[in-house]
A and B are shown apart, each in its own frame.
Chain A
Amino acid sequence: MKLSTAVLAIAASMTTGPAFAHEEDALTASPPGDPYVQVSDVLPLPEFLPGLGTLFVDPGTLPAGPFLSYDHDGRLSATVYMTPLEDMASGTAYDGLGIGSHTVSGVDIYYNAGHPGVEKPHAHVVLYHDEDAKGRLAE
């Protein structure tokens, strides 16, 4: 865990600033390029997470994200945010977050008990970018 945190800290120090993912064309296909890193490259997590796909994130935006979610064919399918509940209850707000695509066909919000990278219990906010995205990310 400490190693993972250190890796993320190093990666975060290499970023040039907050990433507002509004350059849609640059993000539609995997990999999205700098400053995004593939989550499974820097954290002990599977490359493809059932329900979330292959995730990329700008380490400087942790923990909230946006996490860019790609399907097995490398197509941008969702934008995911991860917001620790304890921090929100303490007054932390996550404003002005970027988004992978301005097309949003549906939104899921659900509780997650934690995982490497965002270990505090948190909410997953998933914005799907097309009607079939949820199915493609399922497994």
Chain B
Amino acid sequence: MKPDRRQILAMGGGLCGGLLTQRALAAAPVEVIEMRGTARGERIWFAPRGLAVATDTVLRFVNRDPGNSHTATAYHPGLFDRARRIPAAASPWDSDFLLPGASFDVTLTVPGVYDFYCIPHEMAAMVGRIVVGAPDDPGWEGTAGPSKDVSQAVLAALPPVNEILLRGRIEEATR
């Protein structure tokens, strides 16, 4: 039995819907955060060090420092017993050490503020802050407060949330 016009249109609609769904999945936004350093390692940093993204954005950490290895590690009790500085409902991540040119992807689905650090360079305040979504999003959790777990230098290096939301991205600090 031949399909009628309505059935053909329905099949076409389903086909288009499938393609759109695939395209939407393929087009999931990707934001790159680079790990950078000077040639002799005098300074190291995340670029950007502050970034605002929509929920479900893929964050790609890429080591662009030819002479050093870096990590991107969330502040969380499940990772090296650190005080939590990401939303309670979020899953922590640790890229492990990335050699030059290597990368690591993570998708953040819970709105709120995420602070992360580089394990071998936290003492040099190599830290960053990602703001996912906006404060009026359901489930949003804002900035973690001061803690003895992190140094004043680290806290000072984390950009304010309102500045990140205003500018979208904040590059290397002027030092």
Contacts and interface: CB of A to CB of B under 8 A. Distances in A.
Contacts of B37: 113
Interface stretch (B20-28, B117-125, B137-145): B117-125
Contact of B67 (A52, A110, A111): A52
Given A44-B97, A112-B42, A1 B123 contact: no
Given A45-B69, A51-B39, A113-B41, A119 B123 contact: yes
DSSP class of B's interface residues: helix, strand, loop or mixed? loop
Nearest to A124: B40
B121 A114 contact: yes
DSSP class of A's interface residues: helix, strand, loop or mixed? loop
Contacts, number: 61
Nearest to A118: B120
B120 A116 contact: yes
Contacts of B68: 45, 115
A115 B40 contact: no
A111 B175 CA distance: 15
Contacts of B42: 110-113
Contact of A113 (B44, B96, B99, B119): B44
A120 interface: yes
Nearest to B99: A46
Contacts of A111: 40, 42
Interface in B67-94: 67-69, 80
Interface string B101-134: 0000000000000000001110110100000000
B40 A119 contact: no
B171 to A, nearest CB: 18
A50 interface: yes
Given A1-B120, A44-B97, A50 B43 contact: no
List of 6 A-B pairs having minimum Cβ-Cβ separation, nearest first: A44-B97, A113-B124, A112-B41, A44-B69, A119-B120, A50-B67
Interface of A: 1-2, 44-46, 49-52, 110-116, 119-121, 124
26 contacts: A44-B96, A45-B68, A46-B66, A46-B99, A49-B67, A50-B66, A50-B67, A51-B67, A110-B42, A111-B40, A111-B42, A112-B42, A113-B41, A113-B42, A113-B43, A113-B44, A113-B121, A114-B41, A114-B44, A114-B121, A114-B124, A115-B41, A115-B68, A116-B97, A120-B123, A124-B40
Interface of B: 37, 39-44, 66-69, 80, 96-97, 99-100, 119-121, 123-124, 126
